[in-house]
Every structure is written in C-alpha cells, then in structure tokens.
C-alpha cells in the first residue's frame, strides 16, 4: 500500500516514469493491490519494492484495504480539510477551476484556484527554459522567520490530469487522507474510461 510520501512520489509528474507508473498501479482498483500481484505485473519491481520500502513509500499491511466507496463530490471536502492545519483547503484543476473547498468562502477558493493556474503556467515556462524545480511545491509565508507557511500549493497529476491542493496553515501531508484523495480521483476518472478501471483488482 502506498504511504502519503509514496503517493506524492508516484503522482508528482505529468509524465510519470516507469517507477512512478508502477507505484501508481498500487491504487489501480477497488482494493489495494497485494504485493505478490503487484510484483508479477512488471519487470524490475522487486528492486523497486526494496527501494520503496527503504524510502518509506510503501508499507505492507496485514489485510487488504478497500478504496473510497463514495462519490468524489461527496467526500472531497472532508478529505482535503484534514490535510490543512487550519482545516482550510481547496482542490483545484491545473487550469484554475475550484473542484472542492473546505473552511473558506467560494470567492477565496476561486481566487486561490486561479493563482494555482498561474503557477502552472509559470512552471511550464521555466521547464522550457531548463528548470524543472518550478514545478514542485510553492509556499507563502507572512512571517520573516518562514517557520510555517500561510498558504501552500501542492501540484499532482492523476492519469495525465493536473491538480493543485491548496492548504492554509501547516500542511499535513503525512496523512493517509492524501492517499485516499489520490485514489478517489483515480477511481472516479476510471469510471468514465472506455476501457474501464485501470490496474488490477484483487
């Protein structure tokens, strides 16, 4: 099963490499994929498993974990709230649409979503210039010590679609809710795929 750190690693690129795609496969069905089934799905995964366990990207669980079994619209506001120290969060599309919010007014959520779209454009311009670092996390601080951010922007991509998680206060990314969010988005997308859900379900 992916840990929150593993989910951030797996879904951090618009065009994931082979290791990232392999990690994403762990969230490819209605249930978490067992390690035995995951290992036989691709070559080189034994080495990746060892690396992922060492890095804390994967944890082995004694039982199978079920994926989110509710509509994405029904649970997203509750999931994203738990990722913010102030329980104020927004899920935005890469193009600037507010897809879900918790703890803040619609107008503020839309302003922050538009800002996320601006950061997407900035990151793409810097990437063309040769700097990939602009496509990572963004944080704004109101105090000169910069101990805790006032607002954080976390980009991620699920099946080629870009999103931003916008969090007020301390970002609580080491939270299983992050895995649940990525899993729920991936499952919701697979329902509209002509080929049906991706990955292997056991």
Per-residue pLDDT reduced to its tens digit, 20-75: 999 999 987 788 887 888 888 888 899 999 999 999 999 988 777 887 877 777 78
> What fold characterizes domain 84-171?
Beta-Lactamase (3.30.450)
Distance CA 85, CA 113 (A): 19
pLDDT of residue 192: 42
pLDDT of residue 194: 38
pTM assigned to the model: 0.88
Question: Could you give the C-alpha distances from 71 to 40, 122, 191, in angstroms and in order?
Answer: 31, 33, 11
For the chain, what are the domain ranges? 1-69+175-202, 84-171
Query: Helices (DSSP H) in 45-175: which residue ranges?
Result: 45-55, 72-81, 106-129
201 has a pLDDT exceeding 70: no
Query: Helices (DSSP H) in the chain: which residue ranges?
Result: 4-10, 18-24, 35-39, 45-55, 72-81, 106-129, 176-190
> pLDDT tens digits for 148-164?
999 999 999 999 999 99
Minimum mean pLDDT range among 23-27, 30-34, 86-90, 143-147: 30-34
């Amino acid at each position: 099963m992916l840990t929150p750190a593993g989910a951030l690693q797996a879904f951090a690129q618009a065009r994931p490499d082979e290791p990232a795609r392999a990690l994403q496969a762990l969230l490819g069905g209605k249930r978490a994929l067992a390690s035995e089934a995951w290992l036989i799905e691709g070559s080189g995964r034994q080495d990746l498993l060892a690396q992922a366990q060492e890095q804390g990207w994967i944890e082995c669980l004694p039982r199978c974990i079920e994926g989110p079994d509710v509509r994405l619209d029904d649970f997203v506001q509750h999931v994203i709230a738990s990722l913010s120290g102030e329980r104020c969060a927004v899920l935005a599309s890469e193009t600037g649409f507010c897809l879900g919010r918790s703890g803040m007014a619609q107008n503020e959520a839309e302003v922050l979503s538009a800002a996320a779209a601006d950061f997407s454009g900035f990151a793409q311009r810097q990437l063309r210039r040769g700097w990939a670092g602009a496509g990572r996390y963004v944080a704004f601080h109101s105090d000169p010590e910069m101990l805790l951010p006032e607002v954080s922007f976390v980009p991620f991509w699920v099946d080629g679609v870009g999103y931003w998680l916008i969090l007020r206060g301390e970002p609580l990314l080491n939270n299983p809710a992050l895995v649940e969010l990525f899993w729920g988005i991936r499952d919701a997308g697979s329902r509209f795929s002509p080929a049906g859900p991706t990955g292997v379900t056991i």
